[in-house]
A and B are shown apart, each in its own frame.
Chain A
Amino acid sequence: MRNIWIIGRRELAAYFTSPVAYVFIVIFLALAGGLTFFFGNWLERGQADLQVFFIYHPYLYLFLIPAVGMRLWAEERKSGTMEFLMTLPISTGQAVIGKFVAAWIFAGIALLLTFPIWITVNFLGDPDNGVIVTAYVGSWLMAGGFLALSSSVSALTKNQVVAFVLAAVLGFIFLMSGVEIVQAFFRAWAPQKFVDAVAELSFLSNFTDLSQGVIDVRDILFFASVIGVALFINTAIVEIKKSA
């Protein structure tokens, strides 16, 4: 546990020493705000909630989270520091979790920096703040899901661009598995049970409830399992890659 935190802290500090971190935060805030105001017509809707703000998060994360996660292991492998890190007295799992946690906290910070919109909605009307908090937590959980996928994929390659593309594709599959087009594709040949199972794996369907303030334990468990399984695979990939 202590090791995880030491690694996470180092990693987090590394984020903030690079300009990429600030660029990322600015882009995230600009897009999150821009989409809400211009496409979501947030002000014109005349409703005191953040529905249209959260509705864009899955798509934002689809591209922005791979940008956060791509460097996690690819950079470590490329620069050779993986050898330094993995010959310290830590387990591979601790390194994987530590690095993931750092990136997740970073994503959380970016998310928290959207707080002005929350203040604004409270200023303009009388929203249900419980719903908003649930939606924030749900959004952060979903970010964790995307991030765990990105982190695993990042361990596959030394090239950050490749890591980014693979992570975005993988994220897209998880995001869209509940959407009608994808469903139709499976329905054509797979049994209904399988089609339903695929739908269950969708980030979108699992996030929708949370974003509307509905706390469904299954949704939370879903994201937790995605993170858990992805990091487990991540650990295995790191083990294999370092010994090859």
Chain B
Amino acid sequence: MSTLLEIEGLTKRFGPITAVDDITFSVERGEVLGFLGPNGAGKSTTMKMATGYLSPTAGNITVCGYDVRLHPIEAKRRIGYLPEGAPLYGDMTPNSLLNFVCDIRKLPRDQRRQGLDHAIESLHLHQVLHQPIETLSKGYKRRVGLAQAIVHDPDVLILDEPTDGLDPNQKHEVHKLLGRMASTKAIIISTHILEEVDAVCSRAIIISQGRIVADEKPSQLEARSRFHNAVGIRIAAEGAERCVSVLNEISEVHSVQQVVQPSGLNELVAFSANGGNIIGQVRTAIDRSGLDVVEMFIERGRLEDVFRDLTLGAPAAAEVKEEAGNA
């Protein structure tokens, strides 16, 4: 594997605001890095610096061995970038815009045809190819923005909220596209959709107030959740109360959370006391009690939960205690 993007000690201040605060990470070929963080965390600012648009207050960025500040053109040649909100020339059509990008990027004829075909096909742009971009729907605009980012088959792909505004089918298509391209590129996507991290990312960085608060595999992040290895049970309302007490009897169960679903079923979550697997114990206890359970499953962990803990700074344990009290 080779490191395609390296960011070191990156800092950006806007007057008194420190938008990005000493961030260091690198992305290898084959990685899809999910860039997460609350609004205003500094995701877009980091991306703008990585693509050579903003100049950093401090720190270094290297793209495929080229320092972005010293060799901006060489670096930009190797980057495909979808800026936040996909700003594009509204007076152009997707066709003329993509050709403009190919011209600027000096693609030789074969590569150009291939790149255009691939981009137009992958993002389903056939229908709108000759319609002015300003008249396109939000989702289509985003897709044109994605197309212009991949048309030159760049080594480094930086996408700021690429699936924002896409319908579920298109979102799925984009996930598949990213999956296909992943092996040959280093990809960074920022997103607020946490399922997306599971769907496409091999690694996730969470930033909060300009600092990295987590940098690991999605599965490792999930393992931080108090829901990790918890057992979820759906049960009819009549049996719920008894089930809660049965679960609380089990020594490996830390606490039980109860939620009444709109369907009338109750969902119970039994948290693991030590984070280990407790499904065996739970199943034995339920079987012995003779309760009629609709569904039983192991939770992998909830990213939202981890995200909230990491970005609000509240320790996970405190919340568990509080909810245990309620249950």
Chain A residues in contact with chain B, CB under 8 A?
2-3, 6-7, 10, 13-14, 17-18, 79-81, 83-84, 86-91, 242-244
Contacts and interface: CB of A to CB of B under 8 A. Distances in A.
B229 interface: no
A84 B96 CA distance: 15
B214 to A, nearest CB: 28
B165 interface: no
Contacts of B176: none
B91 A6 contact: no
Given A87-B76, A88-B101, A91-B73, 6 more contacts: A81-B89, A84-B88, A87-B83, A88-B76, A242-B54, A243-B55
Nearest to B44: A83
Task: Assign chain B's interface to a size class.
Answer: 20 to 34
A14 B91 contact: yes
Contacts of B52: 86-87
Contacts of B85: 80
A138 to B, nearest CB: 32
A6 B104 contact: yes
A242 B53 contact: yes
Contacts of A2: 106
B35 interface: no
Contacts of B148: 84
Interface in B217-231: none
Given A87-B81, A88-B101, A81 B87 contact: yes
B91 A17 contact: yes
A80 B87 contact: yes
Nearest to A2: B106
B192 interface: no
A45 to B, nearest CB: 44
A79 B51 contact: no
A89 B75 CA distance: 8
Nearest to B160: A83
B92 interface: yes
A80 B81 CA distance: 14
A89 B83 contact: no
A19 B235 CA distance: 66
Nearest to A240: B55
B100 A10 contact: yes
A163 to B, nearest CB: 19
Interface in B231-288: none
Interface in B39-89: 48, 51-55, 72-74, 76-77, 79, 81, 83, 85, 87-89
A89 B104 contact: yes
A11 to B, nearest CB: 10
B90 interface: yes
B146 to A, nearest CB: 13
27 contacts: A3-B104, A6-B103, A10-B89, A10-B92, A10-B100, A17-B132, A18-B91, A79-B87, A79-B90, A80-B85, A80-B87, A81-B89, A83-B87, A84-B83, A84-B87, A84-B148, A86-B52, A87-B52, A87-B76, A88-B101, A89-B76, A89-B77, A89-B104, A89-B105, A90-B104, A243-B54, A244-B14
